[in-house]
Amino acid sequence: MNDIRKIMVLGAGDLGRRVFHELAHGGGRHVQLVGRDEDATLRAANLTRYCALQRGYADVGVSHAVTDLADVARTAERIARFAPDVLFLAASYQSWWVISTLPKDAFERLYAANYGPWLPMHLVPVMKAMEAVRMAGSDATVVNAAYPDAVHPALAAAGLAPHIGIGNLANNVPGIRVAAADELGCAPDEVEVRLVAHHYVSHRLSRRGDSGPAAMGLSLLWEGRDVTAKVDIAGLLRRLPGRYRRTGGLAGQAMTAASALSVLEPLVERRDAVVHAPGPMGMIGGYPVAIESGRFRLLPPDGMTREEALAINVSGQVQDGITEIRADGTVVFEDASMGVLAEELGYDCREMPLPDAEGRAREIAERFAAYRERVAAGNAGKATRLILRISGARRR
């Protein structure tokens, strides 16, 4: 019996390459990287192959393939040919960190919109990928990295939600464990965290050290005993952006890759685990999840019902800029959040039925590209005026 596990990484951007690279450093696997650009994807695959060999992983299988997610039939053919056991989607039309490359004032203005209004940029490539999965007749477990908190419940209406997501609330769990262990006087691996929180809260915790106007649920276990009441939770969280701060931005994707691997490795190795993940089973927001025989089960803090956990995440969804995700997949956006994009980009969409998502994604991409050019031109003009003022002062 051939027991080689096959994992496809669909998306050869920064996160996809990081995860692909780490997955290849283990035996009994065949890992395939799929991207749009033949040369870039081949180079990335070969780099990973050579690094694995250098480290002694001689039995690992590494390959690459090329497709464009816009071509659903071609992507389906790639999936059917490789027949993955696990499929990791790492594709987005615009990664979350892109706006952080703008000048600081422009970044801060756009950041105020939060993440919700950008939803089409993440939803559409995942939708295309899932259409390809269905066309291929694949029974792979699909794990998605692109805004699962909102993408999955929107796609669930069409039966296209991936099985589970990665990142977001999970990225805060190690810092919380370390901070709690320091306060309890024990080792971090003795502390378990049960965190229920939306993407909005996960970003706010690392920047502000609190959940703001959104709700969150958090419990701490030490050697299996609930010790939440023994810890100053508010004080602990306030220290996350201080003493326990970490590198963010594009370099901080290392944390997101680690969160992805915390979900992918148990699935690949067919072992049980407790993880934190957004969008499990098409649900809004993020939860503690038990992986049991390749299936997923919510594992909220003791005493918290599924309905209470969902309500916590809905409160975060609203703060992230999404009022409601209806049963038919229509997304209603918050006026204040969408107002930021209307003011900055000239893009305004208060309600988006699922069939409109692709057109909306194209519109955002075009308007953001124009915005970036305007900001760059404005900054160049400011720099020129400053040089002229300095030169004039010197002549006087």
Distance CA 267, CA 274 (A): 12
Q: In the chain, count H helices and then E strands.
A: 13, 15
Write down the domain spans for the chain.
165-320
pLDDT value at residue 56: 87
pLDDT value at residue 26: 80
pLDDT value at residue 100: 87
| Helices 306-319, 148-156: crossing angle, 10 deg rounding | 110
pTM of the model: 0.93
Rounded (10°) CA dihedral 126, 127, 131, 132? -30
The CATH classification number of 165-320 equals: 3.90.110.10
pLDDT value at residue 27: 77
Answer for the pair 179, 225: CB distance below 8 angstroms, yes or no: no
pLDDT value at residue 386: 45
pLDDT value at residue 1: 39
pLDDT value at residue 380: 64
Summarize pLDDT for 265-299 with one digit per residue, the tens: 999 999 999 999 999 999 999 999 999 999 999 99
Answer for the pair 256, 246: CB distance below 8 angstroms, yes or no: no
3-state secondary structure of 370: helix
Provide the β-strand partners of residue 54: none
Distance CA 50, CA 52 (A): 5
In this structure, are strands 331-333 and 322-325 parallel, antiparallel, or unpaired?
Answer: antiparallel
Query: Which stretches of the chain score pLDDT less than 50?
Result: 1, 384-386
pLDDT value at residue 57: 84
pLDDT value at residue 146: 97
